[in-house]
Chains A and B, each alone.
Chain A
């Protein structure tokens, strides 16, 4: 293969990556200057020394720690639950025979086309009936299992576990649940990790639904950010210090698992 990249390719890529990082750096930059420094016309290029003070003010202005905790609880619970239920259902669709399997699977895939976001009004009414508006249940329960997750795990398990292995486990006297646990779950682990990561991120970054069902006193981190800039005069050193803080958790997760995430996208394009 004679496609060895030259200087131009690296240069263009580096320019793109710099462009990707610039807004994040800018956020930190503004967040690290005091309000009065920012009113000078020339924007500073180096961080000032006020980040911690600004962050402290941001944390006091909104229920920041509560929001962070809420986001962790909701995203963690939803991601775990999606993985558990999707793996179970994916295993059934990939490896078990039962009446109606094909039409049911087609139905699952068809639901992918329905934008659930558009059902927000009745969903809100349902949540109000259940008395869940304002509590984290309203965020957790609707996301507990997704069609994408079921389909994703089914596609993976189809090839990751040979049918014979399952037959052998049955012959050896394994119940189905045990077969699932001892044969399918270990094989599904890589796909499950990717599904967990993506679900966690999607839940963490969601804004629309939490804005509708959560009150100001019990926000997720994204809603807390929104509260930071409410009011007539926007104090950007406060807002962007809080924004920078809010980005850190996912950034850490990204640094730890970026490799798997990239692999997931590259695979997702194949298996979606």
Chain B
């Protein structure tokens, strides 16, 4: 039962738990030796040999001053250059393309204002794709988060062979979505698939996994769940291990059983991580592509687009219909939908937080630090 150092207040967002906490020493290089020896947790450092003493006014000190001024910008420039070219520019340029006629082969055409958006919004396949995406997203993310939470609860015990269990749970994550789609496409085969064979063995008639809308969504959601549940469980587990163990002790003294402790202590305490997982899986879920694309051979999402998602619709418009203008309009609409969803998630969780009792303690201090994408950056 350890009350880890992480329960100490005042540590900045994002510093690693436990190790690496350096009490700031008074200063000079003499302290340094002790300092580095005091921390066995760190990898061995190479000691830098004395090259030359710094003499003011020498060419070396001039070089140092110049370097101190320019080098940091040089070091960070690759990111900014690349982001400008492949991140920011495309995003803005998408907006530009979306208000033009633009074909894949012919290139830029006339400016047509919001016409592409109008055409997309009038297209029934857009709404169909939106419905499919939301349905698949809900079918995958809800069970996924619930199962991952329970799984993390199971892993957060004094297991024998802990690392082995964690690795096994994580195994599906290394299988690429394309491979997952092919395997599950076979398992959910309409005639000779494993799923239908099992169903028929227990007396239920086979399901038309590739033609029935709901069934196909279930099949695709199961691919997503299979690949991501274990991964999310490990993220939850990391957060759970930071919950102070004395909370459980006092709860069990009060007569709370394990399930009760899990619901009333563990889940509220890891709320920031829960929120992070929900938001990232929303962003990922709304962009789902490989799994439905490879669920059948034609790649259009079923004979009547029963499982065509928004990203598939974008791909179809851009690289089949070859209308990059309309495809760009879809890209921006998808972006807006994702933003709206992220905001709704945030709002919901804040409401849920202000309603539930245990959360007041959670929302500040140590557990805040556990938020994976910290909203508060430590001022450097």
B35 contacts A243, C-beta separation under 8 Å: no
Interface string of A240-272 (1 = CB under 8 A from B): 100100110011011000110110011111111
Chain B residues closer than 8 Å to A5, beta-carbon distance: 154, 157-159
A interface SS class: helix
Which of A88, A112, A164 makes the CB contact (< 8 A) with B31? A164
Minimum Cβ distance to chain B for residue A24 (Å): 7
Which of B226, B283, B378 makes the CB contact (< 8 A) with A23? B226
Chain A residues closer than 8 Å to B174, beta-carbon distance: 201, 247, 250-251, 253-254
By CB atoms of chain B within 10 A, which of A105, A122, A160 has the most? A122
In whole angstroms, what is the CA distance A236 to B297 when docked? 12
List the A residue with the shortest CB-CB distance to B325: A121
In whole angstroms, what is the CA distance A20 to B169 when docked? 7
Total interface residues in chain A, CB < 8 Å: 132
Known contacts A89-B75, A89-B78, A207-B177; A164/B27 CB under 8 A = yes
List the B residue with the shortest CB-CB distance to A167: B29
Chain B residues closer than 8 Å to A183, beta-carbon distance: 45-46, 48
Which of A41, A85, A115 makes the CB contact (< 8 A) with B79? A85
Q: B178 at the A/B interface (Cβ < 8 Å)?
A: yes
A13 contacts B165, C-beta separation under 8 Å: yes
Interface residues on B, range: 35 or more
B72 contacts A259, C-beta separation under 8 Å: no
List the A residue with the shortest CB-CB distance to B317: A121
Q: B86 at the A/B interface (Cβ < 8 Å)?
A: yes
Interface string of A14-36 (1 = CB under 8 A from B): 00110111011011001000000
By CB atoms of chain B within 10 A, which of A16, A30, A226, A253 has the most? A16
B186 contacts A236, C-beta separation under 8 Å: yes
In whole angstroms, what is the CA distance A101 to B165 when docked? 42
Chain A residues closer than 8 Å to B184, beta-carbon distance: 23
Which of A13, A120, A142, A267 makes the CB contact (< 8 A) with B154? A13
Minimum Cβ distance to chain B for residue A82 (Å): 10
List the B residue with the shortest CB-CB distance to A189: B43
Minimum Cβ distance to chain A for residue B199 (Å): 13
Q: Which of B125-133, B227-235, B348-356 contacts A (4 or more CB under 8 A)?
A: B227-235
Chain B residues closer than 8 Å to A91, beta-carbon distance: 75
List which B291-306 residues lie within 8 A (CB) of chain A.
Answer: 293-294, 297
Q: B16 at the A/B interface (Cβ < 8 Å)?
A: yes
Minimum Cβ distance to chain B for residue A171 (Å): 7
- Return 15 A-B CB contacts under 8 Å, by A number: A5-B154, A9-B154, A16-B169, A24-B183, A42-B197, A89-B75, A96-B72, A118-B94, A123-B90, A142-B82, A146-B79, A159-B22, A187-B43, A208-B289, A266-B237
Which 6 pairs from chain A and chain B are nearest by CB? Answer: A119-B90, A272-B372, A122-B93, A205-B176, A269-B238, A122-B90
* Known pairs A2-B249, A5-B158 / 18 extra A-B pairs, C-beta < 8 Å: A21-B171, A91-B75, A93-B76, A106-B377, A115-B335, A121-B324, A141-B86, A171-B29, A172-B50, A172-B51, A175-B67, A205-B176, A212-B318, A225-B179, A228-B182, A262-B163, A269-B276, A271-B372
Interface residues of A (CB under 8 A from B): 1-5, 9-10, 12-13, 16-17, 19-21, 23-24, 26-27, 30, 38-39, 41-43, 85-86, 88-89, 91-94, 96-98, 101-102, 104-106, 108-109, 111-112, 114-126, 141-142, 144-147, 150, 155-156, 158-160, 162, 164-165, 167-180, 182-183, 186-187, 189-190, 201, 204-205, 207-208, 211-212, 221-223, 225-226, 228-232, 234, 236, 239-240, 243, 246-247, 250-251, 253-254, 258-259, 261-262, 265-272
